[in-house]
Amino acid sequence: MTTSTPTEQTTGGAEQTRHHIDLTETYAAHNYHPLPVVLASGEGAWVTDVEGRRFLDCLAGYSALNFGHGHPRLLARASEQLRRLTLTSRAFYNDQLGPFAQALAELTGKEMVLPMNSGAEAVETAIKVSRKWGYQVKGVGPGTAGIITMHGNFHGRTTTIVSFSDDDVATADYGPFTPGFVSVPYGDVEAVAAAIDDSTVAVLFEPIQGEGGVVVPPAGFLRALRELCTERNVLMVADEIQSGLARSGRTFACDHEDVVPDVYVLGKALGGGIMPVSAIAADRAVLEVVRPGTHGSTFGGNPLAAAIGHEVVLMLQSGEFQQRARVLGERLEAGLRTLLGSGLVGVRVRGLWAGVDVEPALLTGRQVCEGLMERGVLAKDTHGSTVRFAPPIVASEEDIDLLVTALQAVLEEALASAR
């Protein structure tokens, strides 16, 4: 966890940046709108572009890089496994899946895990398992299993998942959509209770809505939701893909209210920033509804993924990263709050994860991110004038101060121009 400072941006090499951007824009579909920077290497909380300019990474791969770029312990474990065995498919056993599954089950306090690859696959898996549990265990009528979701959610990009999104950009021209979902206001347990009927099998939610701008539910919501789901015999399914694995200052965001869901949905940081690794974790009464041939994945649970995921779990066992996220998050929150009234109109922080709302008449979120990039900081906007920050947990205190200073400079420049 070394301290770093940004280097001066070089004037040469711009042609390399232009070349790579042109190449990508020509041959890769335009489903993203990246900032005009071409990254070539990374270490810890810092990345370097093709021109040799260094940037503080304050997105961390949407929390996939909780442990930073190229963490030595994860690289060593991945390198070791790369030389041994990378893929077998689940048609055979391998010597890495069992230890990984045991470690992850123990970390979550659950009895079983079902490994997949991407976060969206894990969410789809949770949906399928919830429905099958509803038919085989709860006994809902054939073809009626319903799942309650929350307004402002982001769970992935598959057709089924965007079926319960209220983001017009995510849903436009992708219908018809999958039925069976009812969406209610986020953080409103009374609305959840009103939506539950005899066919409801699960409530799928994010303990913190990351894509929404690090939106934290009202205090007590998670506990009330847990009580409601238990009372009504409905699975509580927590999507901790972004919020879990130390990002929020606890192992899981549900831990902030000492709540244990029926199903954990995990991903992103579980792959250590090296490869996609995801899973759901639940007790046997839920996961044993899955039988051979009813669900699967060619790469899910492969030896390389399992080895990396296992190492991630081992790293989390000490509590070092959870504690570090809390301490750095307190420093970040203190710095951001000094900017309220000076360009910021809202600040939300949980662990080392922050969402800030910029005065809409002053700057868009995209403009803020462009200004931050010019000052050696990379971040990502979300809806309107909201920007979220999620530096790798290996960042230093000086790195956090740099983030706040850079944001302050962007806001002061915009305020000066508006006068």
pLDDT of 3 > 70? The answer is no
Torsion of CA 147, 277, 71, 381, to 10 degrees: -40
Question: Per residue in 251-289, pLDDT tens?
Answer: 999 999 999 999 999 999 999 999 999 999 999 999 999
- In 343-390, which residue ranges form alpha helices assigned H by DSSP? 365-374
End-to-end, the C-alpha distance of the chain in Å comes to 41
Question: What's domain 14-64+320-418's architecture?
Answer: Alpha-Beta Complex (3.90)
- Collapsing DSSP to helix, strand or coil, 147 comes out as strand
pLDDT of 193 > 70? The answer is yes
Question: Per residue in 366-416, pLDDT tens?
Answer: 999 999 999 999 999 999 999 999 999 999 999 999 999 999 999 999 999
CA neighbor of 203 nearest in space, from 169, 165, 233, 248: 233
CA angle in degrees (0–180, nearest 5) for 125-286-95? 70
pLDDT of 200 > 80? The answer is yes
Distance CA 106, CA 116 (A): 18
Tell me the residue length of the chain.
419
Q: Residue 282: what are its φ and ψ, rounded to 5°?
A: -160, 175
Confidence of residue 12 (pLDDT cuts 50, 70, 90): low
Q: Is the peptide bond before 392 cis (omega within 30 degrees of 0)?
A: no
Look over the chain and give the mean of its residue pLDDT values, rounded to a whole number.
96
**CB contact at 8 A, 2 and 395:** no
Q: What is the pLDDT of residue 13?
A: 77
Distance CA 7, CA 92 (A): 50
- For helices 97-108 and 303-316, give the axis angle rounded to 10 degrees: 30
Q: Residue 305: what are its φ and ψ, rounded to 5°?
A: -60, -45
**CB contact at 8 A, 39 and 21:** no
Distance CA 285, CA 262 (A): 10
Q: Residue 325: what are its φ and ψ, rounded to 5°?
A: -65, -40
Confidence of residue 108 (pLDDT cuts 50, 70, 90): very high
**DSSP 8-state code for residue 2:** -
Distance CA 240, CA 281 (A): 11
What b-and-e string marks burial along 140-160, b requiring 16 or more CB atoms within 10 Å of the CB?
beeeebbbbbbbbbbbbebeb
- In 249-390, which residue ranges form alpha helices assigned H by DSSP? 284-287, 303-316, 320-337, 365-374
pLDDT of 4 > 60? The answer is no
Q: Kindly tell me the sign of the dihedral angle through the C-alpha atoms of 111, 114, 117, 121.
A: negative
CATH 3.40.640.10, applies to 72-316: yes
Q: pTM of the full predicted structure? A: 0.96
Distance CA 38, CA 25 (A): 12
Q: How many C-alpha atoms does 37 have within 13 Å on its Cβ side? A: 26
Strands 54-57 and 46-49, bridge-based pairing: antiparallel
**CB contact at 8 A, 151 and 136:** no
Confidence of residue 11 (pLDDT cuts 50, 70, 90): very low
Question: Per residue in 63-91, pLDDT tens?
Answer: 999 999 999 999 999 999 999 999 999 99
CA neighbor of 284 nearest in space, from 140, 115, 139, 105: 105
Distance CA 198, CA 139 (A): 10
Q: Kindly tell me the sign of the dihedral angle through the C-alpha atoms of 57, 161, 263, 309.
A: negative
Distance CA 290, CA 116 (A): 14
Q: What is the pLDDT of residue 5?
A: 42
Q: Which positions are catalytic?
A: 154, 239, 268
Residue-range domain boundaries for the chain: 14-64+320-418, 72-316
- In whole angstroms, how far apart are CA 300 and each of 53, 86, 92, 267, 271? 37, 12, 12, 12, 12
Distance CA 138, CA 202 (A): 11
Judged on CB neighbours under 10 Å (0-12, 13-18, 19+), 107 is buried
**CB contact at 8 A, 344 and 135:** no
pLDDT of 229 > 90? The answer is yes
Confidence of residue 419 (pLDDT cuts 50, 70, 90): confident
Question: Per residue in 314-331, pLDDT tens?
Answer: 999 999 999 999 999 999
CA 137 to chain centre: 31
